[in-house]
Structure 1
Amino acid sequence: MNTEEETQIPLLPTHTPLSPDFSKDMGTPTQHSTTHGGINITDLTVNIPSSVRHSLSSQTNGKQPAPSRWGTLEFKLYYAVFLVVVPIMIWIPVSLSSPLHPNFPFYRNKLEDGWIPGRLVDNSDAQYRTFRNNIPVLSVAILLHLLVKYIASSLSPDSPSLTSRARRFNTPSSLMFNLIFSLITVTILHGINVLKIVLILFINYLLAKRLRGSRSSIIMTWVFNGAVLFGNEVFEGWKLGQWFEGLAWLDDHAGLYHRWYISFNITMLRLVSFTMDYYWACNKKGKDLDDLEGVKELSEKQRQALSHPDSIYSFSNFVAYALYPPLYLAGPIMTFNDFMWQHRYPNKQPPASTPIKGYTIRFLCSLLTMECILHFMYVVAIKDRKAWVGYTPAQISMVGFWNLIIVWLKVVDMEDISWLPCPYKNNGGNEFARLLS
């Protein structure tokens, strides 16, 4: 047995069957490669910097990669088609959006004054309009959050190491900061509706705690949250005026985003995650830190598999996890165990600046691309007003195509699901619709 195999950290039990490659990932935190030969278009759209890995086949088999086909006759033909077809695909919706077009008056009232000189902007999509109009507020909130958190973390003592006895009771002050900031943020966003959200969280917490270690806790959590989601759609967020006429005035204080039940669809998955992690903790399905002698840092998969002491599964930590602003507003889904380990024992190594810069550049490019489309292609307004009378098949197809592009850019800008393939890169419309849902 070689030295590498002797020093490898023992594998941890997992909650669900994993691929054979799991044992290779569990030993030490995975070092992702972010080295490229240069910047390409996927770096600004669908590439996830942290997911770049070397091919296992090339490492194990030692085979040489196939020669590049970029300079072949086949690809030169693709370039020629691209230079002709793509400009036409852009020109068609731009020409349809001209004020001189006979259909322009049908959707003119859906347009607003834009920031690009001489252009109106199609800001008619209600979901994206909420995000777009509040970009300055969100930017200030993000900067304020980072500043206050930096000050709070610099004043708080360092968390104990993984090998210290204090680790069992370590609850960092950053969690209390996140709890307070989360409640303030959600209150500003949803106003009086924050009481409904906290009530739902409290019932979920009671189900997990009272039925601890029982399979019925998982079943009841799914049933309750499924009923809540169904009720949210039927009663449109359980407006108080529908049930008590004397409280109807409270519905007017619904914050910046009164449709709280839309974003709550993703929050529900975090509530289920808490119940599942607590169920495994009660049944000793996960390992304790005592089983990891000599480990200085936890890998991503270890943070998900390791359970916490019972005291960590508190209501305050649960609320801080469920309403943590970055995850609440945009996702993705992080397990409760992972969330708590990242607070209790953050990695000593600071995050690499390359992925952060990559994400920032990509967001700005996506945002500016969306702005250009909305200023020069009024396809959303055309679709809403059904102002396609007299259009040719090519023109109608381009209205539909660019509406899909806008939906994709909207998701990329507003949520962190950058793995979502662009419509023109999908194998079929059903696959794109499935990923969006």
Structure 2
Amino acid sequence: MAAPKIGIPFRSFGDDRRNMFDVRFTSRYTLMRALSFCLDSLEADPRKKIYKISKSKSIKIIEGGKKAGSPQGLGSHSGGEALDMGSLPSRPACDESKVQSALDFADYVLYFPLYLCGPLMTYKEFRLQAAEPRPIPPKRMCLELMKLLARIALVECALRTFYRPSAILIGPSRPPMNLLESWVFAHALTWMAFLESALPWSLSRICAMAQGLQPVDDAPEFVTAVTVSCRRFMRSFHVSWSQWLRQYVYVPLGGGGVGLAGSLAASLALHGVQR
């Protein structure tokens, strides 16, 4: 009797999940984070120091090189006069004059909990939250874990009962479907795509929350709610991806049809034509 090959099950497990670690999959997130780092770093003006917090928790915006009574400072709030904005909640001190280093770039782009599949955080959000991590209440963490476990149970139940997309999409003798059957199948396919994608997003988000960060929830609604309409699905599926496109593509292009076309083209280029 031949000895069992111990290495094959582990190799099979890795082969089944090789796309998760494929550079073609992770490179789009790396590129988007690199662009966010560059664009957010360009906003910093070395003449400005923002978020100077006094003992009374009032924020003053000061621009160097301009006096309080100069004409340049009288017409706008960005002038040389110090603007007391009243008593505001304290925020982490953030010196915009700080030059970003390669270590800052690596810390943001290669942040492990969110590296593989997000949720995406802009560099400005990541820097502010990492400067002063806020512990998540245990009750909220328990709710997030319960939501993740419920989604895992739904996916497992569907895969073991009614969900067999390969039998219809890839099978050699694909049965014909009428209009109603096509609609039901498309609805189930969308339903499962949302659930299967929400699992890694939720797990990564929980890991980041355990370290004091608060990434946006990429799947904030329950699956039965997002499949009611296409509009609701698009607004509740991969939320951080949509926010990134809106901030760095849609708004700079001026919005409207041009911004929408640019956002769709950028999303298609990042996903790849094969997807």
TM-score range, shorter chain: 0.5 to 0.7
- What residue is the counterpart of 2:175 in the other structure? 389
Shift of 1:314: 0.9
Change (3 A) 1:422 1:320: same
Question: Secondary structure of 2:42's match?
Answer: helix
Moved over 6 A (4+): none
- Assess if the C-alpha contact under 8 Å between 1:379 and 1:399 holds in 2: no
Give distance in 1, aligned partners of 2:14 and 2:223: 23
- What residue is the counterpart of 1:415 in the other structure? 201
The partner residue of 1:276 within 39, 55, 77 is 39
Question: Secondary structure of 2:160's match?
Answer: helix
- What residue is the counterpart of 1:320 in the other structure? 107
- CA shift digits 1:339-368 (9 cap, x unpaired): 334444334xx3201111111111111011
Give distance in 2, aligned partners of 1:323 and 1:358: 28
Shift of 1:391: 4.4
Q: Specify the structure having the higher radius of gyration (Cα).
A: 1
- What residue is the counterpart of 1:310 in the other structure? 98
- Assess if the C-alpha contact under 8 Å between 1:330 and 1:415 holds in 2: yes
- Assess if the C-alpha contact under 8 Å between 2:45 and 2:97 holds in 1: no
- What residue is the counterpart of 2:25 in the other structure? 262
Looking at secondary structure, tell me which structure has more helix per residue. 1
The one-letter code matched in structure 2 to 1:324 is Y
CA RMSD of aligned residues (A): 3.8
Give distance in 2, aligned partners of 1:324 and 1:422: 28
The partner residue of 2:117 within 330, 337, 340 is 330
Give distance in 1, aligned partners of 2:133 and 2:163: 46
Q: TM-score, normalised by structure 2?
A: 0.53
The partner residue of 2:133 within 312, 336, 346 is 346
Question: Secondary structure of 1:376's match?
Answer: coil
Question: Secondary structure of 1:321's match?
Answer: helix
- What residue is the counterpart of 2:188 in the other structure? 402
- What residue is the counterpart of 1:366 in the other structure? 151
- What residue is the counterpart of 1:429 in the other structure? 230
Structure 2: tracts of 5 or more residues without a match: 1-12, 58-87, 203-217, 239-266, 268-275
Change (3 A) 1:292 1:317: same
Looking at secondary structure, tell me which structure has more strand per residue. 2
Give distance in 2, aligned partners of 1:389 and 1:383: 7
Alignment of 1:187-202 (within 5 A): none
Shift of 1:374: 0.8
- Assess if the C-alpha contact under 8 Å between 1:331 and 1:415 holds in 2: yes
Q: TM-score, normalised by structure 1?
A: 0.35
- Assess if the C-alpha contact under 8 Å between 1:274 and 1:336 holds in 2: yes
Alignment of 1:33-182 (within 5 A): none
Question: Secondary structure of 1:357's match?
Answer: helix
Pair 1:356-2:141 in alignment: yes
Shift of 1:393: 4.3
Structure 1: tracts of 5 or more residues without a match: 1-128, 135-254
Q: Tell me the number of residue pairs that the alignment of Structure 1 and Structure 2 aligns.
A: 181
Shift of 1:430: 5.6
